[in-house]
Amino acid sequence: MSTPHRTLLALGMALLWSGASARATQVAAVWAVNDGEKIKRDDLDNPNKAVNSAWDGRKISLFAARNEVVAFQVVVQAGPQGVKDVDVTLEALVRRGGNEKLVLRPEGEDPTDWRGGHIERFTQHYLNITRATPPGWFYNPAAKPVGLTGWVPDALVPFNAKKGLGGGPFEIGANLNQGVWFDVYIPKEGMPPGVYAGTVKVSEGGNAVAELPVELRVLDFALPDENHFHAMIYFEEDQIGTRHGGGAGLNARYHRLAHRHRVEFTTAYAPVPDPQHLELLAGAAFTPEKGYVGPGQGVGYAIVPASFYGAGAAWKGTQGWKTADTFMTWLKNTKQDAVTFLYITDEPGPKEFPWIKEMGDHLHGNAGPGKALPMFVTKGPAPGLEGAIDIWCTVTNQLDLAKAKAEREKGRRWWVYNGHRPAAGTQITDAPAVDCRVTPWACWKHDVELWFYWHANHWRHNQQSRQRGEQNVWADPVTFGGEGGINGDGVLIYPGQDLKHPDQDRGIAGPVASIRLKNIRRGMQDYEYLWLAAKNGLEAEARAAAAACVPRAFSEAKGGVAWSIKGSDWDAERWKLAEAVEKKLKK
């Protein structure tokens, strides 16, 4: 059967006109796609419309372990007159042969209170990218992302946002798509393996126009609560108050969102930790009493930097020893297994090497407990810094695998930050969705223990940017004013309220995630699949999956990207791992 015929058959099976004629609705098509794609607003003939890993043209098919969040998208296409009052919902998934249910969580005032449900839904917000991010920081010319200019989806807005600003029911313009994103969390306990079935229902003006069957296979194992790979994303807490105007517990809501996505929103903890940070470290911030339900429930943050983006006067001279002693003593009594470091400075040049060397050597010479504090810099090994630095951290394309191995043999570590194609994925908005999934796989393959992204909420331009002031991140895709403008850089989350740009205020008292953050979560969960496989004697299977997904990364990557940009290809490898792990654990 040819692709056009298959597409027509799929659409005919998906649209159920509920007794009305096809001319009675302006919904032209309804279809589904996995979480590893970005479907542009005007892309009416996307190849995933016919078939993809989550969609066979008739039914949505998913799989997940317990303690995992799995996601998919429903795309509603309007006809030539547009369509109003569209609602899309998935009320429940019920286990066949049982009574267990995964139910839709009612949208409430706090978008990070996950009690009372397992399924979330969001409308996709589109940004008009008129100019692609230029090469340089984010990709080599041969590895340029293609096809993602125009109206590209990114922010995922809760259905209870203001009407016209992402709230449902919603309108769709003539001959345009509107994506609806669904997250489904499978609890660690109380959900036996099996097939959970339900129906996505699409209505127009309260009248049903389409029903899409959904089948979720819950596997007979659970992902761990602890992360075995660390994603550290810098978070500027004072920008929350600027956009939201204050409110009790707002910062905590942002940290709950991070935890739910298996990343850490990170800041400095010395010289005096904030009391709310203590709850993050202990895990008390991530309990049902605080509204948190999901992966890592009761598990605290693991990354506890002494400083971030630079070390001030408190770390110099004799005072530096005292500060380090105090911090390491506190850390030993608070969280002994923490990942910690002193961030001496950011991206230094040779002129800065002498004072960095002096500071590193001086702090290493401390006879007290502060001697154990590792020295960190966003730089690779360089003459003049030998012996002063314990943790190197470079952009992904600067990680030399042979040199990294040699550094590890010396007892040092080499981490990566941000992303540069083709060495790993990039986090700009005009890159494919799976770019944000690549780095955890590459890091597992090459034994890199931490990935650092420079900013979660860069809503206020910093001094490096050619632009100034508070950014309108809901309307302007350019978030860093480098040469030509960089799309989405430093903005993985959006403010649900916006006092600086009131016309963009969604009325959501908390964070709004992006498709890019969702795909980082997907990569973090994939890492746990790889970890589980290797832990249970399936190292060869894990290595095969990693080689298939990321044939080349870091210093071995040349020219164009070696990995697939199709979400379906990544899902195929995850499915192989899932089957192998489930079979192994059943023995």
Q: Is the pLDDT of residue 95 over 90?
A: yes
Q: 230-458+515-573: what CATH class?
A: alpha beta
Structure tokens at 277: 């940070």
What φ, ψ does residue 99 adopt, rounded to 5°? -110, 0
Each residue's pLDDT tens digit, 446-498 = 999 999 999 999 999 865 555 568 999 999 999 997 557 899 999 999 999 99
pLDDT tens, 298-335? Answer: 999 999 999 999 999 999 999 999 999 999 999 999 99
Check pLDDT > 80 for residue 530: yes
The pLDDT, as a whole number, for residue 464 is 59
Residue 14 pLDDT: 54
**pLDDT confidence of residue 10:** 45
Whether the predicted pLDDT of 528 surpasses 80: yes
Choice between 23 and 406, residue whose per-residue pLDDT is larger: 406
Tens of pLDDT, residues 338-380: 999 999 999 999 999 999 999 999 999 999 999 999 999 999 9
Q: What is the pLDDT of residue 467?
A: 59
pLDDT for 23 equals 44
pLDDT of amino acid 271 = 73
pLDDT at 273 over 80: no
β-strand pairing of 177-186 with 375-377: unpaired
pLDDT tens-place string over residues 99-147: 999 999 999 999 999 999 999 999 999 999 999 999 999 999 999 999 8
What band does 248 get if pLDDT is binned at 50, 70 and 90? confident
**DSSP annotation string for 32-64:** EEETT----TT-TT-GGGT-BTTBSSS-EEEEE
Query: What are the pLDDT digits (tens) for 281-300?
Result: 999 999 999 999 999 999 99
Instruction: Look over the chain and give the mean of its residue pLDDT values, rounded to a whole number.
Output: 94
* CATH topology classification for 3-220: Immunoglobulin-like (2.60.40)
Residue 508: its pLDDT value, please? 98
Q: Specify the DSSP class assigned to residue 252.
A: H
6 exposure class (CB count in 10 Å sphere: 0-12, 13-18, 19+): middle
Residue 275 has pLDDT above 70, yes or no: yes
pLDDT at position 2: 37
| pLDDT value at residue 52 | 98
150-164, 186-200, 440-454, 483-497: segment of lowest average pLDDT = 483-497
DSSP 273-302: --HHHHHHHHTGGGSGGGT--STTTTPPP-
Q: In the predicted model, is pLDDT for residue 87 greater than 80?
A: yes
**Cβ atoms 25, 209 nearer than 8 A:** yes
What pLDDT, on a 0 to 100 scale, did the predictor assign at position 392? 98
Number of residues assigned to the chain: 587
Q: For the chain, which residues make up each domain, given as ranges?
A: 3-220, 230-458+515-573
pLDDT (mean) for 249-267: 97
Confidence label for 20 from pLDDT (cuts 50, 70 and 90): very low
Read off φ and ψ for residue 557, nearest 5 degrees: -90, 130
Position 17 pLDDT exceeds 50: no
Residue 61 has phi, psi (to 5 degrees) of -125, 130
Question: What is the structure's pLDDT at 8?
Answer: 41
Q: Is pLDDT above 50 for 93?
A: yes
Q: What's the rounded Cα separation, in Å, for the pair 112 and 236? A: 19
Q: How far is CA 67 from the centre of its chain?
A: 17
pLDDT of res. 458: 95
